[in-house]
Chain A
Amino acid sequence: MAEPRISLISDLTPPSLERTWLTAPHPTLPIVATCSSDKTVRVYSLTNFKLLSTITGGHKRSVRTCAWKPHVQGESVLATGSFDATVGIWRRWDSYRNNEAINGDEQDVTGSNADEDEEWRFAVLLDGHDSEVKSVSWSPSGMLLATCARDKSIWIWEDLDDGDNNFETVAVMQEHGGDVKCVAWHPVEECLASGGYDDTIRLWREDLDDWGQVACIKKHEGTVWFLNWEGPETMPASESSDLQNQWQEQRALSGPRLVSCSDDRTVRVWCRLPKETSQPGMSSSAATGIPSIIRPSGTDETWEEDALLPHAHELAIYAVAWSQKTGLIASVGADGRIVVYEERLVAPSPDSDAMETEPSTRPSLQTEWAILAVFDGAHGIYEMNHVAWANRADRGSEGAAEEILVTTADDGSVKVWSLQR
């Protein structure tokens, strides 16, 4: 078996000439949206890697973040968050589907750009944050939008879907002690994770109509820059399908895990302890810092560090992406390096006696993370701000099973990579 290798497929062209912060792959179409310091969002085709349209005029400062609303029929809905403290909602009919550019047949799409731009309809501006918006995330159903900012708050908005673009503020959470850098919804449940400048990761759920913190993880020693959830269906690599089945049974109890990356140069994986096995001795206030007299203890959750991924970055790690398809994790940061990690099941050794270690609620089946591939200087001398997995679309249907990495950098460039195994 050849050594796994990350190799460049293409740049997205033409790029922004200013720092690009983030690239969001569309949930169903082969397109991505990229957010730039030049106050615009560019939409590119993943079929021919060309610019399809540019969303301008909505924000007065850098566009820091964006996210596609899932489960929308016939239309694409994009939420954008900006340093101008506002969140924009944009709509566009899905004519890209019939557009020749998306099939890669048409080389020149730039001529039609002026017309395409107008097709993005500015729907509504969500005003509420006091300072720069850092991250936005749609809940798995698409009903809820979470936004966060330097004002230390997280807002949850409900999309009323009333045809009139009305959003209602559902909750404002202000427990974070500093900028909230990232928010990310659980892939299945209505559970929100957030991370920030106060070095913590917090988990939030609704209980009796009230959104509240159910866990606070204090283990990173620097700003938590990004969070991503494990897909509900991926599995660690193993020769043995028996082991994989056993692992799946265990995982079913605790649900998808969460991965975080930080200024402290670490990538960590977190796992919820199944409620049934939570230690009775553990005080619930330890998890949230809130005395259980105020919060019903039933909602508190215990999150444990599941893994510290192998050290691979020399500077701050700005983004981490957990493939929903393959279970691989990719990370990028200020050192300009792409790192891909793979989780492998460790065959239980017959000698190891469970009694040797302290009695624990940890699943008996262990995994280990290994570095699968590294690419240095992926954007030359520039820092990378974001990485995402997307479905490969440039070679027709046979590539449907393959995933690509999309990386975003300080010079404005966005690059598309394949992982050859």
Chain B
Amino acid sequence: MAEMQNSNPTILNVADLPTRSRSTVKSADYGNGIFAAVANPADFLSSDSEDDDLLEEPIDEQEIYDLIKTISDPEHPLSLGELAVVSLPDIFIKPTLPNVPESPLQTVTVLITPTITHCSLATVIGLGVRVRLEQSLPPRFRVDVRIKEGTHSTGDEVNKQLGDKERVAAALENGALMQVIAKMMETCQ
């Protein structure tokens, strides 16, 4: 990392990154949403576990994006969201076993766009995204992180590494590599 590979990346303004604008949604919900019919929302929340399951907020693409957009680039003092390495339209959530409707398994696919096509840090960035999601999401999610087609010279090679469970597991036990990953995560809440 002695020499920067891409010294002049395109940067997006944080204010322009896609958000859910939570505050407005929430206040609206309290007035007219599901809680309106309940005298005391706290009672409703503490009801039996079946109801709690129904209340579980489904995890959507925006939430995945929010989890990974704040990861720092290992090379620039910028986030993966600002550098458009990750972007909302390149995140997909699908049932893992479409033929087994009762299966709770879901696959999160994140396509990564490296800032330059020969970026040797693509694997580290991909690993960071995968680790972040595996640590944040419930275990029923299968995480699939890959390089967006045509955006990297050795994309297939990087994808194979990122998809290799055994290599990822071994990487998590590698102190030096995990220090780099931990540094990238410092900017995540």
Contacts and interface: CB of A to CB of B under 8 A. Distances in A.
Please classify the interface of chain A as helix (H, G, I), strand (E, B), loop, or mixed, using the class held by over half of its residues: loop
Contacts of B164: 179, 197, 223, 263
A126 B165 CA distance: 25
Contacts of A179: 164, 166-167
A64 B165 CA distance: 12
Interface in A296-351: 314-316, 318, 334-336
Interface residues of B, number: 20
A314 B169 contact: no
B173 interface: yes
A263 B2 CA distance: 36
A410 B170 contact: no
A376 B170 contact: no
A62 B97 contact: no
A17 interface: no
A197 B170 CA distance: 15
Contacts of A197: 160, 164
Interface in A30-89: 37, 61-62, 64, 83
Given A197-B164, A316-B165, A334-B165, A376 B142 contact: no
A337 B70 CA distance: 35
B152 to A, nearest CB: 19
B139 A411 contact: yes
Contacts of B104: 381
B153 interface: no
B142 A334 contact: yes
A83 B139 contact: no
A230 interface: no
Interface string A398-420: 00000000000011000000000
Q: Pick from B99, B100, B164 the residue with the most CB of A within 10 Å.
A: B164
B155 interface: no
A374 B142 CA distance: 21
A178 to B, nearest CB: 9
Please classify the interface of chain B as helix (H, G, I), strand (E, B), loop, or mixed, using the class held by over half of its residues: loop
Contacts of A315: 96, 142
A377 B170 contact: no
A111 to B, nearest CB: 33
Interface in A239-262: none
B169 A62 contact: yes
B140 interface: yes
B6 interface: no
Interface in A155-205: 179, 181, 197
The 9 tightest CB contacts between A and B, nearest first, are A381-B140, A61-B173, A132-B170, A83-B170, A314-B97, A376-B100, A381-B139, A83-B173, A381-B104
Interface of A: 19, 37, 61-62, 64, 83, 131-132, 134, 150, 179, 181, 197, 223, 263, 314-316, 318, 334-336, 376-377, 381-383, 410-411
6 contacts: A61-B173, A314-B99, A315-B142, A318-B165, A335-B105, A410-B139
Given A197-B160, A382-B139, 19 more contacts: A19-B169, A62-B169, A83-B170, A83-B173, A197-B164, A263-B163, A315-B96, A315-B142, A318-B165, A334-B165, A335-B96, A335-B105, A336-B105, A376-B97, A376-B100, A377-B103, A381-B104, A381-B105, A383-B165
